[in-house]
Amino acid sequence: MTNRVLNRAIAALLFLGAELLYLATMAPTFSFWDCGEFIATARTLGVPHPPGAPLFLLLGRMFSMLPLPVDIGARVNLISTLASAGTVMLTYLIIVRLIALYRTTPRNEWDGAEAISAFGGAAVGALALAFSDSFWFNAVETEVYSLSSFFTAMVVWLILCWHEEYPEKGHERWLLLSAYMIGLSIGVHLLSLLAVFAIALVYYFRRFEVNLKTFSVLVLGSSTLFFLIYTLIIKGLPALLQLASWTGLILFLAILVYGVYYTQKHRMAMLNTVLMSVMLIVIGYGSYGLIYVRAQASPPINENNPSTPDAFFSYLNREQYGDMPLWPRRWSPEPTHQYYYSRYNNDLDYFLSYQLERMYLRYFGWQFIGRSDQREGAGVDWSVLWGIPFLVGFGGAVAHFRRQWKMGLVVTALFILTGAALVVYLNQTEPQPRERDYSYAGSFFAFALWIGIGVESLCRQLAVWLKTPGKRERLLLSVLTVTVLGLLVNGRMLQANYRVHDRSGNFVSWDWGWNILQSCQRDAILFTNGDNDTFPLWYLQEVEGIRTDVRVVNLSLANTGWYLQQLKNTSPRGARPVLFSLTNEELEAITYVPIDSASVELPSSAAARELERESREHGFRLPSVPLESIPWKIKPGLIYGGQGYLRPQDIAVYDIVLNNFADRPIYFALTVDPDGMMGLDRYLRLDGLVSKVVPLKSADPMSFVDPVRLSSNLLQVYQYRNLADSAVFLEETSLRLASNYSPLLIRLALDLADEPMKSISVPKPSGGGSRTLKRGELALEVLDTATRLLPPGRFGLNAELAGSAVALYSRLGEKQGASIYIAYLEKLVSRTTPARNPRLFYAMARAYRAAGRMDEAGRVIDSLGAALHEPRLRQEFEKMKE
């Protein structure tokens, strides 16, 4: 077998192996965050958040139509698995080419030792990328970063192909293909544009003699090229459309086409290549026409409504998010950001400590040193990967510069521009809503190239140190070195990362969306808070057609006029429009309004009658008489500088509730903060993951429940697939959101146990009629469900609620159930001290008391009293005994 055939065979095997790995660990449906939004907009060719990803949407639409017996979300997930496997293959091919560039022997003439060290080292580097934390995370869900990484790797590989072929005839085709790939990549994510500078370096080193003058020309030329693509094409063409409508854009394209024709006719080769490249970039960028065209059709998801040249220009420029200056680093005036800024001495301290160290170097350490755990804010742990991938990659970087500094500089440029330089550009505020490691995939890809070079260099260096001149000895040494390093690098990375990146069996996001929607009555209006209580609903409504009657009102988007106008003026999938008293012009101009306090009477006679009817049908007493009108005290949603303000979202909530409450059920998702409820938090009935606005005031927020409705939702309607299966790994977001179920179940059990001997009729868990049983029996059933489906050791639980579960189990005579929560509390107690967490120790003592273990309760109280210097706690304990 020739080296060429072997090289291609290994590349193909790497692609196949990576694809099988990602298929085995791929999410079986959509995941949290942007995944649901992207799949929903791909399926319906809608308009996602700015600046969009039109090429990704087109691919997603195509993959969603594949005749496969899997969830539509899983079909679109295949884009990421294939793109990631392709990136792994390209990484291998790039490393082989980089090694070939500093070797004196052509690839086809490498002996066995040279072939094994090069191909084996490249495979180790490619697999290091494949098994790395962030790359694997992106590979098994629907996000743009996998495809963006593929385009970055493709562009780098293409320019290396050009480098090898230049100056043979036809070498320009590699440059033109690179330009087209860059144009296409814009329709996925702008991160791939950063590869332009690496391309310019390769071109410079191949075409020109290196000196100060030519290097200055390189810097100027590459900056001009980036400016040309980003400013004149990405931003300039929409601006041209904005200023001169279609006339200016058509004129530009005509001039460009004529320029290509003219330079071709007059044999102006270099200028023709430049103009052809620009034209191909524009053609690739043309995928953005999808956004403009689809916005005209008003799809159900039409974010920012970029249906006019002005709106389209604003959409592409991400004007919704505002500007982020490069300096100062602590630029945001928001009170939350100002609070975190105050922790740092100055802007430089903030940049080095937070933006660079925490928001990049920590992520870099996750990939090649080890991630301490899967919680948000996890640190770097050298004991996980032993730092071997990092040391091999660092050695590879040193070796690369020693053997061929020019290509070493190319990889360095790619590494820095997609890493530390991106940190400077993004100028992120603290805190961020989630980890941002996925943004630096290009930097991790660049370092993986050095891991491959590091393995090859160690093979060569060991042969020198051990003085093995024979071909057979060098071959065995290369095989041994590659094998050992492959096990230490790839084997350990695979072992450490497989379980935590295995999404198979994880249906939390689908079930979360289903449970929220099915909690709502017909034609409901549902207020949601952010991505993870909105995008799952969009997916189910737009992709699977589930509960399209529910109008979802995202409070974050409710700060924008375009979104409120869509709620008012559209009827997606036949859903009723949301009534507003505000005109379209008033909604468009909506802004902050200063307010201290206000009150209004909200008519609620119809809702009061419905509440009384449900109470009679479900056989429970209302805690008070329903109100004919709710005395609604409007609270400002924002306090700034001592002044209260109504945010646009607050004005929207006020207007929507005032105009729709009479004839439509209105809900708030469990994830909505009290300050987003506009003073209605005491007028809510807890129905599960949502709370319904009702004309009955509760003593505590959301303390009122309808036990029949709540038990029906929690025991019959809700889905909890694989939550109790410890073999299914749940990442932090899934764990955090799924942990909301257990408090709901315990809360219902406590309510039912207040009158344990009273009968109650509830739907059968399997459906088909109802059953009547004692409330105490149902309380035990509910509590057992919480314990079985949501074990506290897996999902965590508030210490007070765990103590309540112990007390309830003990009251109902179930010591075994109580022991589970006692063991959970004991584990929590063993991790801390009474001085650090007195509430936990007090809850532990109460749990022991409820279980009849008085001596143990006394010991905990004594230790707590000693730690807090509070001898009266012993007296409290004596009262507890009584």
**What tens digit of pLDDT does each residue of 724-734 get?**
999 999 999 99
In a domain, 354, yes or no: yes
Question: pLDDT at position 643, please?
Answer: 84
SS3 of 862, please? helix
In a domain, 784, yes or no: no
- Stretch among 7-21, 148-162, 397-411, 689-703 having the lowest mean pLDDT: 689-703
Average pLDDT over every residue of 703-708: 90
Token pair 């082989």 in the structure block, residue: 96
Q: What are 196's two structure tokens?
A: 């332009």
**Does 193 or 576 have the greater pLDDT score?**
576
Confidence band for 813, pLDDT divided at 50, 70 and 90: confident
Whole-number average pLDDT of the chain = 91
Burial of 383 (0-12, 13-18, 19+ CB in 10 A): exposed
Confidence band for 296, pLDDT divided at 50, 70 and 90: very high
645: which strand partners? 594, 638
371: which strand partners? 380
pLDDT tens per residue, range 470-479: 788 888 999 9
- 457 and 585 housed in the same domain: no
Answer yes or no: is pLDDT of 66 > 50. Answer: yes
- 267 and 385 housed in the same domain: yes
d(CA 601, CA 598): 11
- 576 and 701 housed in the same domain: yes
- 323 and 351 housed in the same domain: yes
Burial of 397 (0-12, 13-18, 19+ CB in 10 A): buried
**Does 318 or 340 have the greater pLDDT score?**
340
- 496 and 526 housed in the same domain: no
Question: pLDDT at position 191, please?
Answer: 87
Answer yes or no: is pLDDT of 511 > 50. Answer: yes
Domain boundary among 685, 705, 725: 705
Question: pLDDT at position 882, please?
Answer: 41
Neighbours of 358 (CB within 10 A): 16
Average pLDDT over every residue of 676-688: 93
Average pLDDT over every residue of 858-864: 86
Q: What are 336's two structure tokens?
A: 């939350």
- Expressed as residue numbers, the domain containing 399 is 3-501
Average pLDDT over every residue of 41-67: 96
Average pLDDT over every residue of 510-519: 98
Domain boundary among 501, 520, 554: 501
- 288 and 419 housed in the same domain: yes
Question: pLDDT at position 524, please?
Answer: 98
Question: pLDDT at position 320, please?
Answer: 78
Confidence band for 231, pLDDT divided at 50, 70 and 90: confident
- 620 and 701 housed in the same domain: yes
In a domain, 781, yes or no: no
User: What torsion do the CA atoms of 341, 345, 347, 353 make, to the nearest 10 degrees?
Assistant: -80
In a domain, 717, yes or no: no
**Does 755 or 146 have the greater pLDDT score?**
146
Counted domains in the chain: 2
- 97 and 215 housed in the same domain: yes
SS3 of 668, please? strand
Question: pLDDT at position 489, please?
Answer: 97
Average pLDDT over every residue of 751-773: 83
Q: Are the C-beta atoms of 862 and 844 separated by less than 8 Å?
A: no
Question: pLDDT at position 221, please?
Answer: 74
- 429 and 561 housed in the same domain: no
Question: pLDDT at position 416, please?
Answer: 95
Confidence band for 771, pLDDT divided at 50, 70 and 90: confident
Question: pLDDT at position 537, please?
Answer: 98
pLDDT tens per residue, range 551-610: 999 999 999 999 999 999 999 999 999 999 999 999 999 999 998 888 899 998 888 899
- 572 and 622 housed in the same domain: yes
d(CA 537, CA 40): 10
- 404 and 323 housed in the same domain: yes
d(CA 787, CA 573): 39
Average pLDDT over every residue of 25-53: 96
Question: pLDDT at position 43, please?
Answer: 97
pLDDT tens per residue, range 437-490: 999 999 999 999 999 999 999 999 998 888 777 788 888 999 999 999 999 999
Neighbours of 596 (CB within 10 A): 10
In a domain, 752, yes or no: no
In a domain, 532, yes or no: yes
In a domain, 522, yes or no: yes
d(CA 740, CA 670): 9
SS3 of 607, please? helix
- Stretch among 10-24, 392-406, 439-453, 586-600 having the lowest mean pLDDT: 586-600
Answer yes or no: is pLDDT of 848 > 70. Answer: yes
d(CA 556, CA 566): 15
DSSP class of residue 625?
A: P
Answer yes or no: is pLDDT of 304 > 90. Answer: yes
Count of residues making up the chain: 882
Question: pLDDT at position 539, please?
Answer: 98
Question: pLDDT at position 553, please?
Answer: 98
Answer yes or no: is pLDDT of 130 > 90. Answer: yes
Please name the amino acid found at residue 878.
E
d(CA 28, CA 549): 26
Q: Is the peptide bond before 51 cis (omega within 30 degrees of 0)?
A: yes
Question: pLDDT at position 767, please?
Answer: 67
Q: What are 653's two structure tokens?
A: 């909530």
- 492 and 534 housed in the same domain: no
Residues 6+ apart with CB under 8 A from 241: 248, 249, 309, 312, 313
SS3 of 593, please? strand
pLDDT tens per residue, range 596-622: 888 899 998 888 899 889 888 888 888
Answer yes or no: is pLDDT of 229 > 70. Answer: yes
Question: pLDDT at position 877, please?
Answer: 64
760: which strand partners? 773
In a domain, 403, yes or no: yes
Answer yes or no: is pLDDT of 383 > 90. Answer: yes
Domain boundary among 501, 536, 552: 501
d(CA 85, CA 14): 8
Confidence band for 878, pLDDT divided at 50, 70 and 90: low
pLDDT tens per residue, range 254-294: 888 999 888 988 888 888 988 899 899 999 999 999 999 99
Average pLDDT over every residue of 227-236: 75
Answer yes or no: is pLDDT of 768 > 90. Answer: no
Question: pLDDT at position 620, please?
Answer: 83
Question: pLDDT at position 881, please?
Answer: 52
Question: pLDDT at position 880, please?
Answer: 58
